[in-house]
Structure 1
Amino acid sequence: MRHQIILLLIAISVVGTLSSSSCNKPPYKPDYKNIQGFVIGKETCNTDESKDFWLIDFTYGSDNPKVGDTLLVNGSKYTNVLKTNGLNQQLKVIGMKVSIDYRIISADKIITTGCTVSSPITYNLKELTVLNQGEIR
């Protein structure tokens, strides 16, 4: 009998602890957003190509916000283009589908300056600051 009372008290305290500790908490809301797109090209500005901006068309994901600009690249028209210089080396492939977590997209278009090649090719676009990134398969 005494054993049953102790087990009952332990069960009541466990249930009480669990119910009081997990209630009244709002659901977790991440402090970043996600956007998905296709790598469509890159700027040519620096002799060290790792410093060049890459162009991404963010029309792949159905929930993507309209944050970029329309751009004509190699005869193809893209409608939601941003540029970034934070793209991982393995994602720097034209046509690659990418998923990017971000906090910041520049409010204004960024003009690339300080080019070290003789005939730079740059685009006046908003810049996406990459937080996390990966390939969409």
Structure 2
Amino acid sequence: EEVLARLTETGTRGIVLSGRPYHLDPEVNHGINKLITSLGAAVISEDIIAARTKKQPVDVLNQWTYHARLYSAAEYVTTQADMNLVQLVSFGCGLDAVTTDEVRSILEKHGKIYTQIKIDEITNLGAVKIRLRSLFAALEQ
């Protein structure tokens, strides 16, 4: 709540960093949260945001708690001008393949940019930096 209030007060952009619970491990995510904050945005987890909206109908079978939370977070982000969502995925995890299409659809239906980072393809943060800088540049236009 404190971070969300600060976004409004300061005009700071918020990035909802979504991913499976194991993506929160710094060894797994390579410090992507710190990279986002170094670019001037506040990082918010999808579980905080998901509770702020009612479940919306989706185009996929929604039987998993994480998926429902992710879709709710994406819906909430579409209602906030100062917020975007970055989805961390592992394509070694087949269930992530299901969520990516639905999250993209939710965001793009409302004019938001979908940004995905494949955790299992990171050998250094160079490509991630480029992707995030591109997102921030597109949001400024």
Give the structure with the larger helix fraction.
Answer: 2
Q: Which has the larger radius of gyration?
A: 1
Give the TM-score taking structure 1 as reference length. 0.24
* TM-score, normalised with respect to structure 2: 0.24
Query: Larger % of strand: which?
Result: 1
